[in-house]
Amino acid sequence: SLVVSDDGVWRDQFYSGNIKKERKVFNTFQNNMLQHRAIVLHLAKSWFRIGSLEILAHSGELDLQRRLLDFIIREHFPSIAMNDSNRYLAFFCTVVSETANLIALWMSVGFGHGVCNTDNFSLLSITIDYGPFGFMDSYDPNFLPNTSDDEGTYKIGNQANVGLFNLSKLLQALNPLLDPRQKKLASQILEGYGECYYSRFTELFKTKLGLLGENENDNYLIAFLLKVSLLC
């Protein structure tokens, strides 16, 4: 079965420049082969994204934004106390850390998220709405699974930077709910994103290589092997 809306959307089905208006189909798929039926669903613990808070901040609906944020924290961040005046700061700190971890995990298996905008970045740091995605057959930082991304904005070698950009947009959305001290601390947390990502990335690749303990040459070895893989 198909669930179709009456609203029209513009699509370029084959990315050929031939844009057509069609009715929007929601999250279902029909397969008639051999009379078997299958419905494909996107499932997640939550579909709240960075964009969910961005749109409310942009429209100035701060009371609704605060209510939504409290609901998200209460439902999905049990380690944060609801009576803590710094709960939004703690929430942001957790999202920064977990987003860095998620993208490092993507990189560790060569996964390319095709559409990394803020509306496709989960506040729970889980992989949702990846659109045209792909896994690299061999290492290539310019690998791009989305053929409509002409500028290579979301190429796999840029995913960590896109994560930082999206988190900066999250901080911008949260700023109206933070006091001056909290804003300063939140900016410092965001500045630590790169170190958090790099640390997790290094940890994952050291595990792949079977490297034990700490050695100052570990990072050099990882970089060298990635460069050799690129040349191959």
Catalytic residues: 119
Enumerate residues 6+ apart whose C-beta is below 8 A from 214: none
Q: Do 160 and 193 form a contact (C-beta atoms < 8 A)?
A: no
H runs (alpha helix) in the chain: 50-58, 62-76, 87-108, 159-174, 180-191, 193-209, 218-231
DSSP state of 9: E
How many CB atoms are closer than 10 A to CB 228? 10
d(C-alpha 162, C-alpha 153), whole Å: 8
* 3-state class (DSSP) for residue 20: strand
| Cβ atoms within 10 Å of 81's Cβ, excluding its own | 12
Q: Are the C-beta atoms of 165 and 153 separated by less than 8 Å?
A: no
**Angle of CA points 24, 31, 36, to nearest 5°:** 145
> CA Rg, the chain, in Å?
21
